[in-house]
A and B are shown apart, each in its own frame.
Chain A
């Protein structure tokens, strides 16, 4: 017999960690480039299809496939930023429209390359483990563990590496950072690559858990957007708190009531926070 309360918490934390991974890249791009990247969900999709191709079609091991898929998504992101997004830095509306165009194009290319049908990827782990009164599936536990490692690594990177500090400097004040010798263009492409890598990693990790399809990035994109608005655009701690909050609230409402109410509840929470604190829970002052 599973305990309802413990299972709700486990489900919520698992979902929240994945939302956080998605939201982190999204908020990073906004924080540094002041751009809302609506193609973020499609980079999640790119990671998933790369994992499907490497692990599912070519027979590579799962973890090497995930690592390479993350790299593929990073490369996609770097190319997209350099060729398509760079002209729109500081021009939020133009950047949004370009990102919408990129999203539609990437989806269409995926349909052409892989077909429209949902595809399944063999799971690296099967079965579940009981932790006290709750059940945790092993593959989700692995995803949660990878997400935690990625989040910790990312925080350490931001605080303790030259590139991480340079990224924070550009996010705070691009002109001042430039005067200090930090070249904004180089920061943008690297930041975008890291953000894309985070989305691609989430996609590659979730590919065996769900199904893989060209439209699979739409819902994670929506969740990432909600999480980032809640946590504060450009705020990394905010994305973490927001992700877990949304994951837990969805789990509570979906289990005690229904899925539709859970969706409504997420938006009610976000709207309530924005009314009281328009910049989000953990907003950062930035120019």
Chain B
């Protein structure tokens, strides 16, 4: 073979192997409520990683070792129900061959917790329940700081900035809601608030007048809406205003101020204090929101930043581990992937040992906001 042919053949072989490798796909699964009351969060959980995947694929794919992978996001609907989440998980793992995934709800996470460890599937959860992580969590990570971590500074801000300390806590009647009620009751009491009581409602419920009649009779200064989905929170706010409630609403979990305003009306929602995952004025958030609008034709719930960042942390861990198949290495690489910057420019770190006995949580920064003239306005940050 002539000297000229060998380099050409070598070049052709390299190009061929690179193109074959580029055709390989890294699948990321998502289990979230894509329909029903939780859909604003669920759609954000599906689209955040998908937008990141498109950005990476546009640049040639995710480089893992010497290979490049096309990132594909596969999302299934669990309608916020544990049984549907299990079915979605089995489909992702057994049929789609997924080894890395994101799970939104607390009920879904608790139903899948053991399975995730047994199957060694690297999973990021957005669940709020404190029971999700413990010393036995090797493959399960939380992708942001839950109320347990941020609610202290949020309520402390409320103590200093809100008049009136009589509060009733309202939450959905499921794992997330029970957990949030417990946490909120403890933290509000510790900050000098008088917790008059708590109410739980079924997620599919739309008529809150009987519950609100009972709450208003207790004369609260604040109705705390916790983990209520945004559109439902808007219904609660509107129905309460119609019954004559003219005091404050707060929402320490799972914001979505635009959805709140859409169903409550700007006037009824005015002044609602809520936790925001994103600063609407931030350039990183604006870019994500524009990409979501292009894909879905509507405004995103700002929790999309958490799912984008969570997927980014996961892919970074895969790169640091130098493998897409050895999930034990990927799980161990989270400590190398963090700290890193969020899409909004805040620092994401790995933590959680003090609370859960294991460093398996991405510690994020949240924002304290209010609704003014139908728009969310940032007032501060949680610590």
Contacts and interface: CB of A to CB of B under 8 A. Distances in A.
Interface stretch (B1-9, B31-39, B333-341, B367-375): B31-39
A8 B35 contact: no
Given A116-B35, A137-B242, A258-B199, A11 B209 contact: yes
B212 to A, nearest CB: 9
B206 to A, nearest CB: 4
Nearest to B243: A135
Given A116-B43, A135-B242, A4 B217 contact: yes
B130 interface: no
A251 B35 contact: no
B213 A11 contact: yes
Interface string A54-95: 000000000000000000000000000000000000000000
Given A117-B39, A219-B206, A255 B242 contact: no
A211 B206 contact: yes
A148 interface: no
Interface string B17-51: 00000000000000000111101101100000000
B206 A254 contact: no
A111 interface: yes
A187 interface: no
A22 interface: no
Contacts of A8: 210, 213
A259 B211 contact: yes
Contacts of A183: none
Interface string A15-42: 1000000000000000000000000000
B94 interface: no
A11 B242 CA distance: 12
Interface in A151-206: none
B37, B43, B211, B242: most-surrounded residue (chain A CB, <10 A): B242
Interface residues of B, number: 41
B263 interface: yes
Contacts of B213: 2, 4, 7-8, 11, 255
Interface in B206-221: 206-207, 209-211, 213-214, 216-217
Given A2-B216, A118-B231, A128-B244, A260 B210 contact: no
A211 B210 contact: no
Nearest to B217: A4
Contacts of B210: 8, 11-12, 250-251, 254-255, 259, 262
B380 to A, nearest CB: 29
A45 interface: no
Nearest to B215: A255
A157 to B, nearest CB: 29
Contact of A255 (B39, B211, B259): B211
B242 to A, nearest CB: 4
Interface in A197-238: 209-211, 213-216, 218-219
Contacts of B39: 116-118, 213
B35 A258 contact: no
B161 interface: no
A59 to B, nearest CB: 18
A13 to B, nearest CB: 11
B200 interface: yes
Given A255-B213, A259-B205, A2 B243 contact: yes
Contacts of A100: none
Nearest to B259: A118
B157 interface: no
Contacts of A218: 204
A283 to B, nearest CB: 28
21 contacts: A2-B213, A2-B244, A7-B213, A11-B209, A11-B210, A14-B209, A15-B209, A116-B77, A118-B36, A118-B37, A120-B231, A120-B262, A126-B265, A137-B242, A211-B263, A213-B36, A213-B39, A250-B210, A258-B200, A259-B210, A260-B202
